[in-house]
Amino acid sequence: MKIAIASDHAGYEEKEQLKPVLDELGIQYEDLGTFSREAVDYPDYARKVADQVAGHRVEQGLLVCGSGTGMAIAANKVPGVRAAVAWNEDIARLAREHNDANVLTLAARVTPFPELAKIVRAWFATKFDGGRHARRVEKISEIEQDELAHHAMR
């Protein structure tokens, strides 16, 4: 599996600490930045990862910022992306199993690193269940397509 990862300045250290976890799991990754603790705008990095996921250049994405929320909001603006903030292992599993989420966002400022590592392990160990959940995920795609068509008519 190949993924794209990125962070803003608030998540930079945690992103760097998660790389050995990804290596341990055998997950290849492309690091799209940031590459220091210097302040940056999180939407720029969320978009880089989301574009890679939506363009099928990678299978999934991993984003780290202070709360996880800003990255998720920005990434979810890209059609085809289903970004989920996970603050524990159960939420990570449910996001994958039920929602077929394809981008994990993490909260560096409020989640201790050992928990972040557990969340990442749970996320990548979990597959989409399909079944009744597939119908619901398809409805999300329909909403997205309807919105794209609506905006194209403006």
Tell me 31's DSSP state. E
- Asked if the model's pLDDT at residue 17 lies above 90, the reply is yes
Domain CATH for 77: 3.40.1400.10
Band (pLDDT 50/70/90 cuts) for residue 63 is very high
C-alpha distance from residue 102 to each of 63, 76, 112, 118, 150 (Å): 11, 10, 23, 17, 25
pLDDT at 153: 85
Domain of residue 67 covers 2-153
Find all residues with CB under 8 Å of 33, minimum gap 6, and list them: 6, 7, 40, 45, 48
- The model carries a pTM of 0.95
Predicted confidence (pLDDT) per residue in 84-130, tens digit: 999 999 999 999 999 999 999 999 999 999 999 999 999 999 999 88
Residue 73: half-sphere exposure toward Cβ, Cα within 13 Å:
7
pLDDT band (50, 70, 90) for residue 73: very high
Rounded CA separation 69/65 (Å): 8
Does residue 59 have a pLDDT over 90? Answer: yes
Q: How many structural domains are present in the chain? A: 1
Instruction: Give the pLDDT confidence score for residue 36 in this predicted structure.
Output: 97
Q: Catalytic: 151?
A: no
Choice among 9, 56, 98, 151 that is catalytic:
98
> Annotated catalytic, 150?
no
pLDDT of residue 149: 87
